[in-house]
Chain A
Amino acid sequence: DAMVIQNPRYQVTQFGKPVTLSCSQTLNHNVMYWYQQKSSQAPKLLFHYYDKDFNNEADTPDNFQSRRPNTSFCFLDIRSPGLGDAAMYLCATSSLRDSYEQYFGPGTRLTVT
């Protein structure tokens, strides 16, 4: 089945230690998104790629970076995680073929100790 995969499902990192979360997709969608979600609140869009074009949300902290080496993969890098960065991180994809409906991965739960 075509899908959005996130690894790992659970990640523990130390305060200030860089961490990378990964997302891959088999849908061949050209748009990929990263969201941050805290305790059953609505997901908050951090940034997205439209093909290779990176689009940062105005209020996304500089501590958060992203890379998209190819269509299938997208990474979220947190350069110096703080306690406030503990959250669920959701990856999603979309394309014109699917009317830009967003398909979500299972998420990565990040704990900062």
Chain B
Amino acid sequence: GNSVTQMEGPVTLSEEAFLTINCTYTATGYPSLFWYVQYPGEGLQLLLKATKADDKGSNKGFEATYRKETTSFHLEKGSVQVSDSAVYFCALLPNAGGTSYGKLTFGQGTILTVHP
């Protein structure tokens, strides 16, 4: 079956530090990969996505590259801010390029806290 594994949290950083949250996956075929962010008390917001190998998703200074050879989709940001404090979820959708309907598989989530 499909699975997503995220690095253990919580992660605590100082403002302007470099962020990496590791995400690896197991899936057949060519899933689409997502990072969702959840701010305190809010629903999930799509942060970025990639639908095929070597695609790089980016948004709000965050980046992640779809690496099929290492089955990874690590989230990075060069300089975090206090406002980035949230829970981050890596997820995959086994949708074969967007034409096949499937269910999202989530990682366990990583809590990020950024201090001033």
Contact residues of A with B, CB < 8 Å? 6, 31, 40-43, 45, 48, 50, 88, 90, 92, 94, 96, 99-107, 109
Q: B43 touching A50 by the CB < 8 A rule?
A: no
B35 interface residue, CB < 8 Å from A? no
13 extra interchain contacts, Cβ-Cβ under 8 A, other than A50-B101, A109-B41? A40-B109, A41-B108, A43-B106, A45-B103, A48-B103, A99-B32, A99-B97, A100-B93, A104-B43, A104-B44, A106-B42, A107-B42, A107-B43
Closest to B40 in A: A40
Chain B residues contacting A100 (CB-CB under 8 Å) are 93, 95, 98, 100-102
Q: Is the CB of B43 within 8 A of A101?
A: no
B99 within 8 A of A: yes
Cβ distance B28 to chain A, nearest Cβ, rounded Å: 17
Chain A residues near B49: list those with CB within 8 A: 101
Give every chain B residue within 8 A of A106 (Cβ-Cβ).
42-43
Interface flag for B82 (CB, 8 Å): no
| Interface presence of B46 (CB below 8 A) | yes
- Chain B nearest CB: distance from A100 CB in Å? 5
What is the total number of residues of chain B having a CB less than 8 Å from a CB of chain A?
Answer: 29
Judging by beta carbons under 8 Å apart, are B101 and A101 in contact? no
If A90-B43, A102-B104 touch, does A41 touch B109 (CB 8 Å cutoff)?
yes
- Residues of A near B32 (CB, < 8 A) are 99, 101
CB distance from A98 to the nearest CB of B (A): 8
Nearest-CB distance from B6 to chain A (Å)?
A: 9
When C-beta atoms are compared, the residue in chain B nearest to A42 turns out to be B106
> Is there an interface contact between B99 and A43, defined as CB atoms closer than 8 Å?
no
A92 CA / B101 CA spacing, docked (Å): 14
Instruction: Report which of B45, B99, B109 forms a contact with A96, defined as CB distance below 8 A.
Output: B99
The verdict on A31 contacting B109 (CB below 8 Å), with A100-B93, A106-B42 known, is no
B41 proximity list for chain A (CB < 8 A):
109
CB-CB contacts of B87-116 with A at 8 A, as 1s and 0s?
Answer: 101000101011111111011110100000
Question: Is B51's CB within 8 Å of the partner chain A?
Answer: yes
